Amino acid sequence: MFVDRRAELKVLHSAYGSLKSGEKVNVAIIGPRRIGKTELLLKFREKAKGVVPYLNLQRIGSLDSFIFAYTRELLYEIANTLGLEIGRSELLTWDDLLILSAKLEVDREVRAIKDGCLETLFEIQESILEKTGQKAVFILDEFQEVLNFKGFLEVMRAVTEKQKNIAYFISGSAVRMMEEILAPKNPFFGQFRRIYLKGLPREDAIELAKTTLERAGIEASRSALELIYKLTQGHPFYVLAVCRRLIEEGFEKIRRKDVHYAFLTELLTEKGDIYMHLEYVFNESLSRAYKGPIHKQILLILAQEEGLRLSEIARRLGKPSGEVSNYLKFLLRTDLIVRQNEKYYFADKLMRFWLAKTYLGITELELRREKYLEELIKELEEKYLRVKRELGLARESVVREKMREVFGIDFKPYRRGDVEFDGVAFSDKIYVLEVKWRNKPATYRDVEEFVKKAKEEFGSAVMFFFSKSGFTEKAKELCKKEGVKMLIPVDLECSAF
């Protein structure tokens, strides 16, 4: 179900308008599964007038099948735009495509693609678009799957970069892998404008829940709707799953207790949509794991107690730290865990709660026991959904927001392998941000390490260093020498933190 994403849709339509005016803009939409990326792209496609092929790369098994499917979608969309009546079901073989290409007077080009390679496809699509007088935005969903094809990114970038008749909207659920694809030192660095899709804002999530329940003739108090938002963190799939559960339970007026029951039933019992979603994400994320059982064991350890260091995890596994470090590097690429201050945490607190509890085999009957339900609710809210201030994530987020307001720079958290920054922005230049929220001034060593890391990762970048408690004199001297822009709370008007 599509939920209102006005700002994001505006970006997509603006990019399409730029292409038609002669300025090519590629867009990458990044976010976790079921957050609404595909729905957003299909909504844009529904409203756009012109050639907008769509291809989900999870359904592509080989490079040959990619070349065929890509060509089919491109020709199909051109034909529809030009008023030729043809169904996609009529385009099942290369012979079918050649018949259609003859009608479009591009059969020579399509024969070359059929007998050629990936490079041929990308080269000739420009000729096809020129001959048919069209410009296209090609949507490639679950784009991280192209990593299965050796050399794909290099070929695509080299051939399509200067093409004027086609732009790309790509999306991906593997957040870390998508960021690596778009990172410096990789072919697509600087080629895509990024949209990070997150949960809905409070009022939008509440409106979605309210509308869904009202359609079923169910009344919900404001406090109950607020609770739906709090528990789901605005994730549209979770909001709808909880509302559907409330509808199926036959409640006429929703109380907070009903919301808690519906949410935990969806989350912890096998018939729940949220349960099935988390199970799929968990298993799919580990599907390429060489040491699957050990990776699961690490996650179970962190589900019971997160914030552990490498040495602590290794000790609990009874394995050398070097070996465990390799397992953790894999898990960091799956988006299941994150590392902050040399400690490891679940990226999704709800996933942590789900994993810890479902391995205990909680039943729906137990959830109907009021005392047990209350205990689960208390643990969920106090241990899992509570903001972890020791991570500093909330403060980093606000500093990034203030930087956007004051300087117009839209910083995002950055991770690539073992390298992390509190904020990085890619625009005409690369901007890097370090945040220190401590009760003592930033030291010479703090600045030195930040500068070294920034130079190693990006070569040249505009560096900002925010320190809650200011800087030592030696740190100030180094900042001036290295061109690091020093910031304190008053500079960002966030002294009330």
pLDDT of residue 367: 60
Closest by Cα among 134, 114, 141 to 55: 141
Same domain, 19 and 106: yes
pLDDT of residue 218: 92
Which residue carries 């009202």 as its tokens?
A: 214
337 vs 333: CA distance, rounded Å = 8
136 vs 19: CA distance, rounded Å = 8
Count of positions (residues) in the chain: 497
Tokens of 464: 């900002």
Rg of the chain in Å (alpha carbons): 25
Percent of the chain's residues with pLDDT above 70:
91
Which of 35-44, 268-277, 330-339 has the weakest average pLDDT? 330-339
Same domain, 192 and 232: no
- Examine residue 376 and state whether it is found in any structural domain, yes or no: no
42 vs 405: CA distance, rounded Å = 31
Last residue of a domain, one of 175, 196, 217: 196
Question: Is the CB of residue 74 less than 8 Å from the CB of residue 138?
Answer: yes
- Examine residue 385 and state whether it is found in any structural domain, yes or no: no
- Examine residue 348 and state whether it is found in any structural domain, yes or no: yes
Same domain, 182 and 206: no
Whether this prediction's pTM lies above 0.85 is answered by no
Letter for the amino acid at 46? Answer: E
Q: What is the pLDDT of residues 17-56, one digit of tens each?
A: 999 999 999 999 998 888 889 999 999 999 998 999 999 9
Question: Is the CB of residue 24 less than 8 Å from the CB of residue 225?
Answer: no
Instruction: Give mean pLDDT, residues 243-247.
Output: 94
Instruction: Give mean pLDDT, residues 257-270.
Output: 89
Q: Is the pLDDT of residue 112 over 50?
A: yes
Question: Which residues have CB under 8 Å from 238's CB, separation 6+?
Answer: 231, 232, 266, 274
Which of 33-42, 100-109, 198-207, 414-423 has the weakest average pLDDT? 414-423
At 32 the three-state DSSP class reads: coil
Question: Is the CB of residue 266 less than 8 Å from the CB of residue 274?
Answer: yes
356 vs 350: CA distance, rounded Å = 10
Same domain, 134 and 240: no
The CATH number given to whatever domain includes residue 313 is 1.10.10.10
- Examine residue 278 and state whether it is found in any structural domain, yes or no: no
What backbone phi and psi angles, to 5 degrees, belong to 416?
-145, 105
The CATH number given to whatever domain includes residue 246 is 1.10.8
DSSP state of 189: T
Same domain, 234 and 311: no
Burial of 429 (0-12, 13-18, 19+ CB in 10 A): exposed
- Examine residue 274 and state whether it is found in any structural domain, yes or no: no
Closest by Cα among 144, 149, 157 to 66: 149
Burial of 98 (0-12, 13-18, 19+ CB in 10 A): middle
Q: Is the pLDDT of residue 473 over 80?
A: yes
Which residue carries 């808690």 as its tokens?
A: 260
pLDDT of residue 369: 66
pLDDT of residue 365: 58
Burial 378-391 (b: 16+ CB within 10 A, else e): eebeeebeeeeeee
The runs of H, that is alpha helices, within 425-472 are 444-458
- Examine residue 447 and state whether it is found in any structural domain, yes or no: yes
pLDDT of residue 388: 41
Question: Is the CB of residue 171 less than 8 Å from the CB of residue 29?
Answer: yes
The runs of H, that is alpha helices, within 380-443 are 393-407
pLDDT of residue 215: 92
- Examine residue 475 and state whether it is found in any structural domain, yes or no: yes
Same domain, 192 and 206: no
pLDDT of residue 391: 44
Which of 103-107, 123-127, 192-196 has the weakest average pLDDT? 192-196
- Examine residue 152 and state whether it is found in any structural domain, yes or no: yes
Last residue of a domain, one of 164, 196, 228: 196
The CATH number given to whatever domain includes residue 42 is 3.40.50.300
Tokens of 317: 């596994």
Same domain, 352 and 253: no
pLDDT of residue 495: 41
Q: How many CB atoms lie within 10 A of CB 306?
A: 19
Q: What is the pLDDT of residues 338-373, one digit of tens each?
A: 887 788 988 888 888 888 887 655 555 556 666 666
Closest by Cα among 210, 216, 303 to 259: 210
Q: What is the pLDDT of residues 147-178, one digit of tens each?
A: 889 999 999 999 999 999 999 999 988 887 88
Same domain, 319 and 184: no
Instruction: Give mean pLDDT, residues 79-102.
Output: 93
- Give the number of domains in the chain: 4
Compare 349 and 134 and report the one with higher pLDDT: 134
Same domain, 85 and 218: no
Tokens of 33: 């599964």
- State the distance between the two ends of the chain, measured CA to CA, in whole angstroms: 38
Q: Of 121-130, 376-385, 410-419, give the range with the top mean pLDDT.
A: 121-130
- The domain containing residue 261 runs over which residues? 202-268
pLDDT of residue 389: 40
Same domain, 47 and 82: yes
The CATH number given to whatever domain includes residue 429 is 3.40.1350.10
Q: What is the pLDDT of residues 199-231, one digit of tens each?
A: 888 888 899 999 999 999 998 989 999 999 988
Same domain, 225 and 168: no
Q: What is the pLDDT of residues 396-409, one digit of tens each?
A: 777 888 888 888 88
Same domain, 38 and 167: yes
Question: Is the CB of residue 142 less than 8 Å from the CB of residue 57?
Answer: yes
Closest by Cα among 160, 179, 188 to 24: 160
pLDDT of residue 392: 47
Last residue of a domain, one of 330, 356, 382: 356
Q: What is the pLDDT of residues 276-286, one digit of tens each?
A: 999 988 888 88
Which of 42-46, 192-196, 320-324 has the weakest average pLDDT? 192-196
